Amino acid sequence: MADETRSTVSESSSSGDRPDRSERRPSSRPGGPGGGREGGGGAGRKYFRRKKVCKFCVEKIEAINYKDIRLLAQFVAESGRIVPRRLTGVCTPHQRRLSLAIKQARNIALLPFSGRAA
């Protein structure tokens, strides 16, 4: 019924349309199904799970240096990848500076590009 209103291009892939649309929507929904964190006992799963706060804003850490790898390692996964901010709760400007610092640290062999940090 709803498919008829859609354009003729997507007629052939009507079944594949639904997952397509949800992917194109910006990921404003934190967590989501299968995100992994049961904050409020599963009560408000669709909306904000837990009001995760940005660690840098709370502790008023101004400068994120590539040299303090203990701080940076908290935001790096086991595989060496940078953890997305929807999992760590970091705010955007800090996430940008953090990822820049992590990349600088990787370049100078303080953090690995991939694999477990020795």
Partner 1 sequence: MNRTYELMFIVRPDMAEEDQDKLISTLETAVASSSGQVKSVERMGKRRLAYAVRKFHDGIYILLTVEGGGGLIHELERRLRVTEPVIKFLTVRIDEEQKRLDKIKAIKDAKRKAAAPAPTAETAGEAPAATA
First-to-last alpha carbon distance for the chain, in angstroms, is 57
CA angle 101, 35, 100 (to 5 degrees): 10
Beta-carbon contacts of 92 under 8 Å, excluding residues fewer than 6 positions away, are 85
**In whole angstroms, how close is the CB of 27 to partner 1 at the nearest point?**
29
Q: How far is the CB of 69 from partner 1 (least distance, A)?
A: 9
2 or 118, CB closer to partner 1?
118
With vertex at residue 20, the alpha carbon angle to CA 17 and CA 24, rounded to the nearest 5 degrees, is: 140
**Residues within the interface to partner 1 (CB under 8 A):** 62-63, 66-67, 104, 106-113, 115, 117-118
Measured from the CB of residue 22, what is the shortest distance to partner 1 in angstroms? 37
Tokens describing residue 112 = 């690995």
**Residue closer to partner 1, measured from CB, 47 or 113:** 113
Residue among 18 and 103 whose Cβ is closer to partner 1: 103
